[in-house]
A and B are shown apart, each in its own frame.
Chain A
Amino acid sequence: NAGVTQTPKFRILKIGQSMTLQCTQDMNHNYMYWYRQDPGMGLKLIYYSVGAGITDKGEVPNGYNVSRSTTEDFPLRLELAAPSQTSVYFCASRPGQSYEQYFGPGTRLTVT
């Protein structure tokens, strides 16, 4: 199994541009998550999904959107990039019967 994969690894955006961060897992996990990690702040939850077609906001959802059309994929959309969205973004997944989350390698995003 590849586990949780994320693309791209790095991206530089200009203010106002849009992009989609991709996340795919091949473990048939129901739950998927998007976090952002800022220095000294730990991980903050952006959005999560408990299954295909179901998403919900986390702690810091403003400026982001998600969709979950399949079990495997959970893309994160930034519509109008702002410098405050400069961060490292991690996707994670877990099966329904366990609380342990499995993390992807991350996407480092810079907005200038």
Chain B
Amino acid sequence: AQSVSQHNHHVILSEAASLELGCNYSYGGTVNLFWYVQYPGQHLQLLLKYFSGDPLVKGIKGFEAEFIKSKFSFNLRKPSVQWSDTAEYFCAVIPTGANNLFFGTGTRLTVIP
């Protein structure tokens, strides 16, 4: 079955530590990829997106993600996290031509001051 996997359910980091959250998908064709963030009590906001072109995409708040087609991956990175990055992070995929986004189960990030 087609799916989106986020391997880390809960990540705890100290401020200034580097972050990498994994995302893998199982669709065989062309895909469009997203990372959304949900701060406590708030709705989902777009962090970054990849449609085509440079596989390294930069988003808001210093986040970036790299699309590696051969590995079906779209991992999220940030060199130095802040306490305000505490949130839940969702990877999402929509195959080109499809109507729906498919979400991973999310990764909860806790940053300790």
Chain A interface residues toward B at CB < 8 A: 31, 33, 35, 40-45, 48, 50, 56, 58, 90, 92, 99-101, 103-106
Q: Which residue of B lies closest to A45 (CB)?
A: B100
Binding site for A on B (CB under 8 A): 9, 32, 34, 36, 42-46, 49, 51, 90, 94, 99-101, 103-106
CA distance A45 to B36 in the complex (A): 16
A105 CB contact (under 8 Å) in B42, B90, B104, B105 = B42
Query: Shortest distance in angstroms between A99's beta carbon and chain B's nearest beta carbon?
Result: 4
Give bound CA distance, A90 to B36, whole Å. 14
Residues of chain A within 8 A of B100, CB atoms compared: 33, 45, 48, 58
Q: B32 near A42 (CB under 8 angstroms)?
A: no
B44 contacts A90, C-beta separation under 8 Å: yes
Given known A-B contacts A31-B99, A40-B9, A48-B100, A103 and B43 have beta carbons under 8 A apart? yes
Interfacial chain B residues near A103, Cβ < 8 Å: 36, 43-45
Task: Chain A residues near B103: list those with CB within 8 A.
Answer: 35, 42-44
When the two chains form their complex, are residues A42 and B46 in contact, meaning their CB atoms are under 8 A apart?
Answer: no
Q: How far is the CA of A41 from the CA of B3 in the complex (A)?
A: 13
In the assembled complex, which residues on chain A have CB atoms less than 8 Å from the CB atom of B101?
A: 33, 45, 99, 101
Q: If A33-B100, A42-B103, A45-B100 touch, does A99 touch B51 (CB 8 Å cutoff)?
A: yes
Q: Which A residues are CB-close (under 8 A) to B49?
A: 99-100
Interface centre among B9, B100, B105 (most CB of A within 10 A): B100
Complex Cα spacing A104 to B101, Å: 16
Distance between Cα atoms of A101 and B94 in the complex (Å): 11
Closest to B4 in A: A42
Given A45-B101, A50-B99: 5 more A-B contacts, CB < 8 Å: A31-B99, A40-B105, A90-B44, A92-B44, A99-B94
Which residues of the partner chain B approach A43 to less than 8 Å between Cβ atoms?
44, 90, 103
Give every chain B residue within 8 A of A101 (Cβ-Cβ): 101
Asked whether, in the complex, the Cβ of A90 is within 8 Å of the Cβ of B99, the reply is no
